[in-house]
Structure 1
Amino acid sequence: MKSALEPVTARALLMMPEHDKRLELIRGVVHQRPHAVWAVGAASAGGLRALGAYVEPRGLGEVVARAGFWVERDPDTVLAPNFAFVSAQRLRALEDCGRNFYYPGPPDLAGEVTCKVDQPEEAEARVARWLAAGTRMVLLIDASRRTVAVHRPGCIPLHLTDDDVLEGGDVVPGWTLPVRDIFA
Protein backbone atom coordinates (compact mmCIF):
# COMPACT_ATOMS: atom_id res chain seq x y z
CA MET A 1 0.00 0.00 0.00
CA LYS A 2 1.28 3.47 -0.90
CA SER A 3 2.22 5.95 1.75
CA ALA A 4 0.11 9.11 1.84
CA LEU A 5 3.31 11.03 1.09
CA GLU A 6 4.13 9.19 -2.13
CA PRO A 7 3.29 11.18 -5.26
CA VAL A 8 0.33 10.05 -7.34
CA THR A 9 1.27 8.93 -10.85
CA ALA A 10 -0.48 9.74 -14.12
CA ARG A 11 -1.58 6.09 -14.37
CA ALA A 12 -3.05 6.18 -10.85
CA LEU A 13 -4.90 9.41 -11.68
CA LEU A 14 -6.48 7.73 -14.69
CA MET A 15 -7.72 4.87 -12.51
CA MET A 16 -9.35 7.09 -9.86
CA PRO A 17 -13.09 6.49 -9.57
CA GLU A 18 -13.98 10.21 -9.42
CA HIS A 19 -14.76 10.47 -13.16
CA ASP A 20 -17.48 13.04 -12.50
CA LYS A 21 -14.92 15.46 -11.06
CA ARG A 22 -12.36 17.61 -12.88
CA LEU A 23 -9.11 16.21 -11.55
CA GLU A 24 -5.59 17.27 -12.48
CA LEU A 25 -2.23 16.22 -11.16
CA ILE A 26 0.44 18.78 -10.28
CA ARG A 27 3.81 17.34 -9.33
CA GLY A 28 2.19 14.20 -7.92
CA VAL A 29 -0.59 15.96 -5.99
CA VAL A 30 -4.24 15.63 -7.10
CA HIS A 31 -6.11 18.90 -7.55
CA GLN A 32 -9.81 19.23 -8.16
CA ARG A 33 -11.05 22.06 -10.36
CA PRO A 34 -14.64 23.20 -9.99
CA HIS A 35 -17.04 22.66 -12.85
CA ALA A 36 -17.23 25.65 -15.17
CA VAL A 37 -19.85 28.38 -14.83
CA TRP A 38 -22.03 28.99 -17.89
CA ALA A 39 -19.95 31.90 -19.28
CA VAL A 40 -16.79 29.79 -19.16
CA GLY A 41 -18.52 26.82 -20.79
CA ALA A 42 -19.91 29.00 -23.58
CA ALA A 43 -16.56 30.70 -24.30
CA SER A 44 -14.79 27.32 -24.20
CA ALA A 45 -17.26 25.95 -26.74
CA GLY A 46 -16.84 29.06 -28.92
CA GLY A 47 -13.05 28.71 -28.99
CA LEU A 48 -13.25 24.96 -29.56
CA ARG A 49 -15.74 25.24 -32.44
CA ALA A 50 -13.83 28.01 -34.22
CA LEU A 51 -10.46 26.28 -33.91
CA GLY A 52 -11.85 22.89 -34.90
CA ALA A 53 -13.68 24.33 -37.92
CA TYR A 54 -10.34 25.61 -39.24
CA VAL A 55 -7.97 22.81 -38.22
CA GLU A 56 -9.89 19.66 -39.03
CA PRO A 57 -10.80 20.21 -42.73
CA ARG A 58 -7.19 21.16 -43.43
CA GLY A 59 -5.74 18.11 -41.69
CA LEU A 60 -3.57 20.31 -39.46
CA GLY A 61 -4.06 18.15 -36.37
CA GLU A 62 -6.71 17.61 -33.73
CA VAL A 63 -8.65 19.90 -31.42
CA VAL A 64 -9.84 18.45 -28.12
CA ALA A 65 -11.81 19.56 -25.07
CA ARG A 66 -10.65 18.93 -21.50
CA ALA A 67 -8.22 16.17 -22.52
CA GLY A 68 -5.33 15.40 -20.20
CA PHE A 69 -1.75 16.26 -21.14
CA TRP A 70 1.04 14.50 -19.25
CA VAL A 71 3.58 17.31 -19.13
CA GLU A 72 5.95 16.28 -16.30
CA ARG A 73 7.22 12.96 -14.98
CA ASP A 74 8.60 11.92 -11.58
CA PRO A 75 6.59 13.49 -10.05
CA ASP A 76 3.87 13.52 -12.68
CA THR A 77 1.84 16.51 -13.81
CA VAL A 78 -1.32 16.05 -15.89
CA LEU A 79 -3.17 19.20 -16.92
CA ALA A 80 -6.44 19.57 -18.83
CA PRO A 81 -7.13 22.88 -20.58
CA ASN A 82 -10.63 23.88 -21.64
CA PHE A 83 -9.56 23.13 -25.21
CA ALA A 84 -6.32 22.37 -27.01
CA PHE A 85 -4.72 21.81 -30.40
CA VAL A 86 -2.05 19.25 -31.26
CA SER A 87 -0.46 19.44 -34.71
CA ALA A 88 -0.62 16.47 -37.07
CA GLN A 89 3.15 15.96 -36.83
CA ARG A 90 2.99 15.67 -33.04
CA LEU A 91 -0.03 13.34 -32.99
CA ARG A 92 2.36 10.46 -33.69
CA ALA A 93 3.21 10.55 -29.97
CA LEU A 94 -0.18 8.94 -29.34
CA GLU A 95 1.10 5.76 -31.01
CA ASP A 96 3.35 5.14 -28.00
CA CYS A 97 0.68 5.44 -25.31
CA GLY A 98 -2.60 5.05 -27.18
CA ARG A 99 -5.68 7.22 -27.24
CA ASN A 100 -6.92 5.80 -23.94
CA PHE A 101 -4.22 7.56 -21.95
CA TYR A 102 -3.11 11.16 -21.58
CA TYR A 103 -1.25 12.85 -24.42
CA PRO A 104 2.48 12.44 -23.61
CA GLY A 105 3.56 16.08 -23.70
CA PRO A 106 2.10 19.55 -24.04
CA PRO A 107 -0.37 20.72 -26.68
CA ASP A 108 0.78 23.18 -29.33
CA LEU A 109 -2.03 25.50 -28.22
CA ALA A 110 -3.87 25.48 -24.88
CA GLY A 111 -7.08 27.44 -24.35
CA GLU A 112 -7.77 28.35 -20.73
CA VAL A 113 -11.05 30.14 -20.01
CA THR A 114 -11.71 32.13 -16.84
CA CYS A 115 -14.33 34.51 -15.51
CA LYS A 116 -14.75 36.93 -12.63
CA VAL A 117 -15.15 34.16 -10.02
CA ASP A 118 -11.68 32.76 -10.82
CA GLN A 119 -8.53 33.93 -9.05
CA PRO A 120 -6.20 35.75 -11.49
CA GLU A 121 -3.11 34.25 -9.78
CA GLU A 122 -4.37 30.72 -10.48
CA ALA A 123 -4.95 31.53 -14.15
CA GLU A 124 -1.46 33.02 -14.49
CA ALA A 125 0.04 29.97 -12.75
CA ARG A 126 -1.71 27.71 -15.29
CA VAL A 127 -0.31 29.79 -18.16
CA ALA A 128 3.18 29.56 -16.65
CA ARG A 129 2.86 25.74 -16.31
CA TRP A 130 1.81 25.38 -19.94
CA LEU A 131 4.66 27.56 -21.21
CA ALA A 132 7.22 25.79 -18.99
CA ALA A 133 5.98 22.46 -20.36
CA GLY A 134 6.62 23.58 -23.94
CA THR A 135 3.19 24.78 -25.12
CA ARG A 136 3.78 27.20 -27.98
CA MET A 137 0.67 29.36 -27.48
CA VAL A 138 -1.67 29.76 -24.53
CA LEU A 139 -4.93 31.63 -24.96
CA LEU A 140 -6.15 32.98 -21.64
CA ILE A 141 -9.75 33.86 -22.39
CA ASP A 142 -11.63 35.99 -19.87
CA ALA A 143 -15.32 35.30 -20.42
CA SER A 144 -16.43 38.13 -18.10
CA ARG A 145 -14.35 40.85 -19.76
CA ARG A 146 -14.58 39.34 -23.28
CA THR A 147 -10.81 39.51 -23.73
CA VAL A 148 -8.04 37.16 -24.80
CA ALA A 149 -4.45 37.30 -23.63
CA VAL A 150 -2.15 35.47 -26.06
CA HIS A 151 0.89 34.04 -24.29
CA ARG A 152 3.94 32.72 -26.17
CA PRO A 153 7.30 31.61 -24.77
CA GLY A 154 9.68 34.53 -24.31
CA CYS A 155 7.13 37.12 -25.49
CA ILE A 156 5.12 39.81 -23.77
CA PRO A 157 1.45 38.74 -23.72
CA LEU A 158 -0.72 40.24 -26.42
CA HIS A 159 -4.04 41.52 -25.01
CA LEU A 160 -7.01 41.43 -27.37
CA THR A 161 -10.54 42.78 -26.99
CA ASP A 162 -13.84 42.22 -28.79
CA ASP A 163 -12.70 44.52 -31.61
CA ASP A 164 -9.47 42.59 -32.31
CA VAL A 165 -8.63 39.54 -34.39
CA LEU A 166 -6.79 36.55 -32.94
CA GLU A 167 -4.14 35.03 -35.22
CA GLY A 168 -2.72 31.52 -35.04
CA GLY A 169 0.74 32.60 -36.24
CA ASP A 170 3.15 29.71 -36.73
CA VAL A 171 1.21 27.52 -34.26
CA VAL A 172 -1.98 27.34 -36.37
CA PRO A 173 -0.86 28.86 -39.70
CA GLY A 174 -3.51 30.94 -41.44
CA TRP A 175 -6.07 30.76 -38.63
CA THR A 176 -7.72 34.05 -37.73
CA LEU A 177 -10.70 34.62 -35.48
CA PRO A 178 -12.47 37.82 -34.49
CA VAL A 179 -12.37 37.78 -30.68
CA ARG A 180 -16.10 38.60 -30.51
CA ASP A 181 -16.83 35.28 -32.26
CA ILE A 182 -15.52 33.37 -29.23
CA PHE A 183 -18.34 34.89 -27.19
CA ALA A 184 -21.09 34.72 -29.84
Structure 2
Amino acid sequence: MLNPTIAIPQTFKVTHEQFQQIAAVNRDLRLERTATGELIVMPPTGSETGNSNLDIEGQLWLWNRQSNLGKAFNSSTGFHLPNGADRSPDASWVKLERWQALTPKEREGFAPLCPDFVVELRSKSDNMEPLREKIREYMANGASLGWLIDRKNRKVEIYRLGRNVEILEHPTTVSGEDVLPGFILDLTEVWQ
Protein backbone atom coordinates (compact mmCIF):
# COMPACT_ATOMS: atom_id res chain seq x y z
CA MET A 1 0.00 0.00 0.00
CA LEU A 2 1.39 3.41 -0.95
CA ASN A 3 1.44 6.27 1.51
CA PRO A 4 -0.68 9.22 0.44
CA THR A 5 0.95 12.51 -0.52
CA ILE A 6 1.40 14.90 2.39
CA ALA A 7 0.53 18.58 2.05
CA ILE A 8 1.69 20.67 5.00
CA PRO A 9 0.63 24.29 5.54
CA GLN A 10 3.63 26.59 5.94
CA THR A 11 2.34 27.82 9.30
CA PHE A 12 2.01 24.27 10.66
CA LYS A 13 4.22 23.79 13.74
CA VAL A 14 4.96 20.59 15.64
CA THR A 15 6.58 19.93 19.00
CA HIS A 16 9.50 17.56 19.40
CA GLU A 17 7.15 14.94 20.87
CA GLN A 18 4.71 15.28 17.93
CA PHE A 19 7.63 15.08 15.52
CA GLN A 20 8.78 11.82 17.09
CA GLN A 21 5.27 10.38 16.64
CA ILE A 22 5.04 11.54 13.02
CA ALA A 23 8.50 10.14 12.25
CA ALA A 24 7.66 6.81 13.92
CA VAL A 25 4.59 6.21 11.73
CA ASN A 26 6.23 7.55 8.56
CA ARG A 27 9.53 5.68 8.55
CA ASP A 28 9.71 5.80 4.74
CA LEU A 29 9.79 9.61 4.75
CA ARG A 30 12.86 11.76 5.38
CA LEU A 31 11.70 14.32 7.89
CA GLU A 32 13.35 17.13 9.85
CA ARG A 33 12.03 19.78 12.21
CA THR A 34 13.41 23.29 12.63
CA ALA A 35 13.99 24.91 16.03
CA THR A 36 10.74 26.87 15.50
CA GLY A 37 8.73 23.67 14.91
CA GLU A 38 8.43 23.74 11.13
CA LEU A 39 8.18 20.26 9.63
CA ILE A 40 10.43 19.63 6.63
CA VAL A 41 9.69 16.74 4.26
CA MET A 42 12.73 15.97 2.11
CA PRO A 43 12.51 14.03 -1.13
CA PRO A 44 14.70 10.98 -1.54
CA THR A 45 18.07 11.63 -3.14
CA GLY A 46 18.84 10.67 -6.71
CA SER A 47 20.84 7.54 -7.36
CA GLU A 48 24.17 9.30 -7.95
CA THR A 49 23.86 11.35 -4.77
CA GLY A 50 22.78 8.27 -2.81
CA ASN A 51 25.81 6.37 -4.06
CA SER A 52 28.15 9.25 -3.16
CA ASN A 53 26.57 9.54 0.27
CA LEU A 54 27.04 5.82 0.89
CA ASP A 55 30.72 6.15 -0.10
CA ILE A 56 31.18 8.96 2.45
CA GLU A 57 29.32 7.04 5.16
CA GLY A 58 31.34 3.89 4.40
CA GLN A 59 34.68 5.65 4.67
CA LEU A 60 33.61 7.28 7.96
CA TRP A 61 32.34 3.94 9.29
CA LEU A 62 35.55 2.11 8.38
CA TRP A 63 37.77 4.77 9.98
CA ASN A 64 35.62 4.70 13.12
CA ARG A 65 35.60 0.92 13.24
CA GLN A 66 39.41 0.95 13.20
CA SER A 67 39.89 3.89 15.58
CA ASN A 68 37.00 3.09 17.94
CA LEU A 69 36.92 6.76 19.01
CA GLY A 70 33.17 7.28 18.72
CA LYS A 71 30.00 6.36 16.90
CA ALA A 72 29.37 7.00 13.20
CA PHE A 73 25.87 7.56 11.82
CA ASN A 74 24.22 7.51 8.41
CA SER A 75 21.72 9.89 6.83
CA SER A 76 18.74 8.13 8.42
CA THR A 77 19.81 9.16 11.93
CA GLY A 78 18.03 12.03 13.64
CA PHE A 79 19.44 14.18 16.45
CA HIS A 80 17.52 16.46 18.80
CA LEU A 81 19.77 19.53 18.86
CA PRO A 82 20.16 21.82 21.90
CA ASN A 83 18.22 24.59 20.09
CA GLY A 84 15.21 22.24 19.81
CA ALA A 85 15.57 21.29 16.12
CA ASP A 86 15.47 17.68 14.97
CA ARG A 87 18.03 17.23 12.20
CA SER A 88 19.52 14.41 10.13
CA PRO A 89 22.97 15.10 8.65
CA ASP A 90 24.01 13.06 5.62
CA ALA A 91 26.79 11.54 7.74
CA SER A 92 27.84 12.29 11.31
CA TRP A 93 30.01 11.21 14.19
CA VAL A 94 29.88 11.57 17.99
CA LYS A 95 32.81 11.16 20.40
CA LEU A 96 32.58 7.93 22.37
CA GLU A 97 32.51 9.61 25.79
CA ARG A 98 29.61 11.86 24.76
CA TRP A 99 27.70 8.89 23.35
CA GLN A 100 28.31 6.79 26.45
CA ALA A 101 27.00 9.63 28.65
CA LEU A 102 23.55 9.16 27.11
CA THR A 103 21.03 6.80 28.68
CA PRO A 104 19.97 3.70 26.73
CA LYS A 105 16.59 5.36 26.12
CA GLU A 106 18.25 8.53 24.75
CA ARG A 107 20.34 6.38 22.39
CA GLU A 108 17.24 4.64 20.99
CA GLY A 109 15.45 7.79 19.87
CA PHE A 110 16.68 11.07 18.48
CA ALA A 111 19.82 11.44 20.58
CA PRO A 112 19.61 14.73 22.51
CA LEU A 113 22.88 16.20 21.30
CA CYS A 114 24.61 17.69 18.31
CA PRO A 115 27.18 15.46 16.62
CA ASP A 116 30.83 16.50 16.90
CA PHE A 117 31.22 16.09 13.13
CA VAL A 118 28.62 16.50 10.37
CA VAL A 119 28.55 16.16 6.59
CA GLU A 120 25.98 17.57 4.20
CA LEU A 121 26.20 16.46 0.56
CA ARG A 122 24.72 18.72 -2.08
CA SER A 123 22.63 17.09 -4.77
CA LYS A 124 22.85 18.75 -8.18
CA SER A 125 19.36 20.24 -7.69
CA ASP A 126 19.94 21.51 -4.10
CA ASN A 127 20.23 25.20 -3.33
CA MET A 128 23.43 25.86 -1.36
CA GLU A 129 22.08 28.45 1.09
CA PRO A 130 19.70 26.12 3.00
CA LEU A 131 22.57 23.63 3.32
CA ARG A 132 24.90 26.36 4.60
CA GLU A 133 22.24 27.40 7.14
CA LYS A 134 21.98 23.80 8.29
CA ILE A 135 25.76 23.47 8.76
CA ARG A 136 25.85 26.80 10.62
CA GLU A 137 23.05 25.49 12.84
CA TYR A 138 25.11 22.39 13.68
CA MET A 139 28.12 24.57 14.48
CA ALA A 140 26.01 26.87 16.70
CA ASN A 141 24.75 23.78 18.55
CA GLY A 142 28.16 22.32 19.35
CA ALA A 143 29.61 20.59 16.28
CA SER A 144 33.39 20.98 16.06
CA LEU A 145 33.77 20.24 12.35
CA GLY A 146 31.37 20.32 9.41
CA TRP A 147 31.79 19.64 5.73
CA LEU A 148 29.45 20.86 3.03
CA ILE A 149 30.35 18.86 -0.06
CA ASP A 150 29.20 20.45 -3.31
CA ARG A 151 29.26 17.74 -5.99
CA LYS A 152 27.95 20.11 -8.65
CA ASN A 153 30.96 22.46 -8.42
CA ARG A 154 33.46 20.03 -6.87
CA LYS A 155 34.00 22.17 -3.78
CA VAL A 156 34.12 21.44 -0.08
CA GLU A 157 33.22 24.09 2.48
CA ILE A 158 34.91 23.35 5.81
CA TYR A 159 33.28 24.75 8.95
CA ARG A 160 35.31 24.82 12.16
CA LEU A 161 34.24 26.06 15.55
CA GLY A 162 35.18 29.73 15.96
CA ARG A 163 36.86 30.06 12.54
CA ASN A 164 35.98 31.36 9.10
CA VAL A 165 34.72 28.93 6.49
CA GLU A 166 37.44 27.47 4.27
CA ILE A 167 36.55 26.56 0.69
CA LEU A 168 38.55 23.88 -1.13
CA GLU A 169 38.30 23.82 -4.93
CA HIS A 170 38.47 20.37 -6.56
CA PRO A 171 40.13 18.58 -3.61
CA THR A 172 40.90 14.88 -3.94
CA THR A 173 40.82 14.39 -0.16
CA VAL A 174 39.73 16.24 2.95
CA SER A 175 41.10 15.73 6.46
CA GLY A 176 39.19 15.06 9.66
CA GLU A 177 41.89 17.11 11.40
CA ASP A 178 42.06 16.82 15.20
CA VAL A 179 38.31 16.08 15.48
CA LEU A 180 38.65 12.80 13.56
CA PRO A 181 42.37 12.00 13.96
CA GLY A 182 43.72 10.07 11.01
CA PHE A 183 40.51 10.24 8.95
CA ILE A 184 41.07 11.29 5.35
CA LEU A 185 38.00 11.27 3.10
CA ASP A 186 38.86 10.20 -0.46
CA LEU A 187 36.58 12.22 -2.77
CA THR A 188 37.42 10.32 -5.98
CA GLU A 189 34.12 8.41 -6.08
CA VAL A 190 32.10 11.36 -4.77
CA TRP A 191 33.11 13.54 -7.73
CA GLN A 192 32.18 10.89 -10.33
Determine if contact 1:43/1:143 at 8 Å carries over to the other structure. no
Instruction: Please say if 1:72 is aligned against 2:78.
Output: no
Q: Name the residue aligned to 2:132.
A: 124
Counterpart Cα distance in 1 of 2:60 and 2:170: 17
The two structures, once aligned, show a CA RMSD in angstroms of 2.1
Which secondary structure does the structure 2 equivalent of 1:63 belong to?
strand
- Does the aligned pair in 2 maintain the 1:61–1:89 contact within 8 Å? yes
Match of 1:145 in 2: 153
The residue matched to 2:86 in structure 1 has which SS? Answer: strand
| Cα deviation, residue 93, structure 1 | 3.5
Specify whether residues 181 and 155 from structure 1 end up closer, same or farther in structure 2 by C-alpha distance, changes over 3 A only: farther
- Residue 49 of structure 1, aligned match among 54, 58, 71: 58
Contact 1:93 1:104 (8 Å CA) reproduced: no
**Residue correspondences, number:** 178
What is the percentage of aligned positions where both structures have the same residue?
24
Contact 2:45 2:123 in 1 (8 A): no
The aligned counterpart of 1:9 is: 15
What is the 5 A alignment of 1:12-161?
12-16=18-22, 17-27=25-35, 28-66=37-75, 67-72=77-82, 76-95=84-103, 97-161=105-169
Contact 1:72–1:133 under 8 Å retained in 2: yes
Cα separation, 2, equivalents of 1:72 and 1:96:
19
Structure 2 CA distance for partners of 1:81 and 1:139, relative to 1, 3 Å: same
How many Å apart are 1:129 and its aligned residue? 0.9
Q: Distance in 1 between matches of 2:157 and 2:12?
A: 36
Kindly state the Cα deviation for residue 173 of structure 1 after the two structures are TM-superposed: 1.0
Q: Give per-residue Cα distances to partners, 1:66-95, cap 9 Å, x unaligned.
A: 21111135xx31000111011111112432
Alpha-carbon distance between aligned partners in 2 of 1:118 and 1:98, rounded to the nearest angstrom: 32
Structure 2 unmatched runs, 5+: 1-10
What's the counterpart of residue 184 of structure 2?
176
The unaligned stretches of length 5 or more in structure 1 are none
Conserved 8 A contact 2:12-2:39: no
With the length of structure 1 as denominator, give the TM-score of the two structures: 0.86
Greater length-normalized contact order (CA 8 Å, ≥ 6 residues apart):
1
Q: Contact between 1:23 and 1:32, CA under 8 Å: does it hold in 2?
A: yes
